[in-house]
Amino acid sequence: MIFKLSKTAVAVTAAALTFTAGASVAAADSLGSDPIRIVMPYGAGGSTDITARIIAANAAEHCGTRIDVVSMPGAGGMEGLQFVADATPNGHTVLMADYSATITQTLTEDTPWAVEDWVPIVHLTDWKPTVYVKADHDIQSIEDWVELAEAEPNSLVFGHADPLSLVHLPLVLLEQETGIQNVHLPTTGGGETRTMILGGHIDLGMTLPPSIVSNVNNGEVTAIGVFADERSDVLPDVPTFQEAGYDVSFEAPLLVYTFSSVPESIQQELSECIMTGLDTATAQRMSDQASAGLDNVQGMESAQAIYRDTTQRVKDVLEAINQD
């Protein structure tokens, strides 16, 4: 399969490869000069990948060494988590992921780590799961979807990435609240979902706003609703499901983690150098161009509080699912 990156992704990638020449000697002495690897349990070219490359391009000089972005989507993302867990605990191998990998899969699969083994050091942004359809589909609003699904149960095919992920759990919650039934079709990720939507092979899909903003703007797809407390800055005209009368909101924090074996002093230093890099005019400009939402980056204390809250919420949802 060939992935064609957008101009924004290419620009961010190029910057990540060339922006590390001025690494500071002070930080290098502390963290060491070996490259830092940001491991993603997802494929390259998506929203998370672009965000990781913004970090690589802007935090390297403050962390004192080159930052590489590594995509490891194998085994449903578990390959990437295992790689980080097994790495030398010196802070040079970190994980960047939403709750799907560190919480949901850890709670639902037999893993050699616990949820608490992943230590969030930076809260980057909150992803807002967004439902969309092809622009010429009969469904063009939340109300259209619910009405058709109620009239013809299991007639609509809904594509999404990994089951019980951030682009699947909100669908489960909506179905529980409304009683509607859809055919769930797992895909390899947002790229395949979008291709199937555009090809007319499935009816609805769920993704993140930055992944489809260009498709919305050029009239290829219609974003019909956002599972969040507030509308997306990237797609400001798209209503939330709460606005439509459905009490379903499940934003997904995007976090940078170390494994628990990394000393706390190194965790703190990594957190600070990443945040310093993202608090620059260059990083904010790149974030705006990529619709990455890196305008309210938070440190370890906030990241860990958000992680605890998200863990409890996922546990509650999984318990409710198991009771059905």
pLDDT band at residue 324 under the 50/70/90 scheme: low
pLDDT band at residue 21 under the 50/70/90 scheme: very low
Q: Are 14 and 112 in a shared domain?
A: yes
Measured CA to CA, the distance from residue 140 to residue 319 in angstroms comes to 32
Q: Is residue 244 part of a domain?
A: no
Q: Is the pLDDT of residue 13 over 70?
A: no
Collect all residues with Cβ–Cβ distance below 8 Å to 309 and sequence separation of at least 6.
Answer: none
Q: Is the pLDDT of residue 18 over 80?
A: no
Q: Is the pLDDT of residue 282 over 50?
A: yes
CATH of the domain at 161: 3.40.190.10
Q: Are 116 and 57 in a shared domain?
A: yes
Q: Are 66 and 171 in a shared domain?
A: no
Q: Is the pTM above the cut of 0.75?
A: yes
* Per-residue pLDDT at 323: 63
Q: Are 121 and 256 in a shared domain?
A: yes
The more confidently predicted of residues 107 and 42 is: 107
Q: Is residue 247 part of a domain?
A: no
Overall domain count for the chain: 2
Q: Are 135 and 82 in a shared domain?
A: no
- Sheet containing strand 93-97, edge to edge, reads 67-71, 36-40, 93-97, 252-259, 118-127
Q: Is residue 301 part of a domain?
A: yes
Q: Are 21 and 115 in a shared domain?
A: yes
Q: Is residue 151 part of a domain?
A: yes
Q: Is the pLDDT of residue 22 over 90?
A: no
Report the mean per-residue pLDDT for the chain: 89
| Residue-range definition of the domain harbouring residue 279 | 7-127+252-323
Q: Is residue 306 part of a domain?
A: yes
- Sheet containing strand 183-186, edge to edge, reads 183-186, 157-160, 204-207, 130-134, 221-226
Q: Are 69 and 90 in a shared domain?
A: yes
The more confidently predicted of residues 13 and 323 is: 323
Q: Is residue 11 part of a domain?
A: yes
Q: Which of 191, 209, 226 is the last residue of a domain?
A: 226
Collect all residues with Cβ–Cβ distance below 8 Å to 10 and sequence separation of at least 6.
Answer: none
Determine how many CB atoms are found less than 10 A away from the CB of residue 85: 19
Q: Are 259 and 119 in a shared domain?
A: yes
CATH of the domain at 260: 3.40.190.150
Q: Is residue 235 part of a domain?
A: no
- Core vs surface per residue 106-115: b (16+ CB within 10 A) or e: bbeeebeeeb
Q: Are 214 and 137 in a shared domain?
A: yes
Q: Are 118 and 142 in a shared domain?
A: no
Q: Is 134 exposed, middle or buried (0-12, 13-18, 19+ CB in 10 A)?
A: buried
Tell me what percent of the residues of the chain surpass a pLDDT of 70: 90
Q: Are 37 and 142 in a shared domain?
A: no
Q: Is residue 293 part of a domain?
A: yes
Q: Are 121 and 151 in a shared domain?
A: no
